Amino acid sequence: MKNNDRSGFLLTKGEPELEKLVRETLDDALKTVKRNTKRFNGNNNYPVQVYKNGVYDETDGARDCWTQGFWPGQLWLAYEMTGDEYYREIAEKYVGHMFDRAYNNYMLDFHHDIGFLYTPSCVSAYKLTGNETALRAAKIAAWSLSRRFRPKGEFIQSIGNEFDENSYKFIADTMLNLPLLFWATEETGEPMYAERALKHLNTTMKYMVREDGSSFHHFRMDRATGEPVKGFTWQGYSDDSCWTRGHSWIVYGLAIAYGYTKDPEIYKNFCRVTDFFLNNMPLDPEDLVPYWDFHFREGDVERDASAGIIVCCGIMEMAQFVSPEDEKLKGYIEKAKKMLKNIIERCHVRSERGEEGILEHITDALPQGVGEVCEPYGDYFFIEALIRAITPWKSYW
């Protein structure tokens, strides 16, 4: 299982100008986090979609939203970096709310986004402070996620119940919910969690990732036989295109899975999907903010900076475990440096603007009418990327 020693790899090592930029950006981002605590203060209130006029929509734990774990995650990142108990006190309130949600099984049987909810909010709390309530909540969440595994087809069903033919499917996003299962095996000693995660990963690579390294967003399976039916999209441009952020979940998910397993086949697949991502960026070699779908290579088209940041995190994760002499990895690292710098300079919402968002130019779901905005998950992964670029960060995932 995963080696929890802190990594010796730092993206900014030997790059003083980049390190200075990253540190200044992180300091500024944490100013926004601190200001946001005045509104989102642990009283079961979370920033979620929609973002308008520099302000997030607000919800409580009685409304299910897949992004609710990312605000507590930002608080734990801020606490880890500053040691300020102020962040810990607020974050621990959210741990209590997340435990209540898990204990009462609120919506945990309906979708796969349990890893997004509980890894940044509770696994982080337990790893940083030994919080027993967070541990109990994360264990319950992992058990709930494991129950969505379907033996017929060997995948974790993304949404709905197993008796609905149209819901008998999995999606790219699940790849970054799998870490909760790998963690659960590591924490409990129960192999079932990791076994189901690996089966889902293998099914994803077999059916969702195309021969050229691109990916579908959704993939439907036959409920009666478990055989593949078809791939399609929901948030991408078309069924035949490759939705950028969905692909980024696969990149980062494979990197994390490799950290737990050291399976060379996973590294091979990581290279396949990462090559596709990096080889299909905008045609302008100085432009490293991805378009929202790989169908686009140029023009005045919406971007998704969060996809680029998630891939940067994936490359930094993989760099902990692969030889620095690996030629593929060296190329990925150089591209990650440039992409991180590009995104900082073009997409960071500086604190003096007075907005609640930290990373802009994120296209959440363009076919559903949500264009370029800020998003809580974008803010979280932006801060995570900044931290792990300059510190030997111990992953929450």
Contact call for residues 217 and 246 (beta carbons, < 8 A): yes
3-state class (DSSP) for residue 322? coil
Torsion angle of C-alpha atoms 6, 8, 10, 15, degrees rounded to 10: 150
- Phi/psi for 11 (5° steps) reads -60, -30
The residues near 37 (Cβ < 8 Å, ≥ 6 apart) are 75, 86, 87, 90
Task: Tabulate helix, strand, coil % of the chain (nearest 5).
Answer: 55, 10, 35
Contact call for residues 377 and 67 (beta carbons, < 8 A): yes
Supply the residues annotated as catalytic. 113, 173
The rounded distance, in Å, linking the Cα atoms of 385 and 378 is 10
The rounded distance, in Å, linking the Cα atoms of 228 and 219 is 8
The rounded distance, in Å, linking the Cα atoms of 64 and 179 is 21
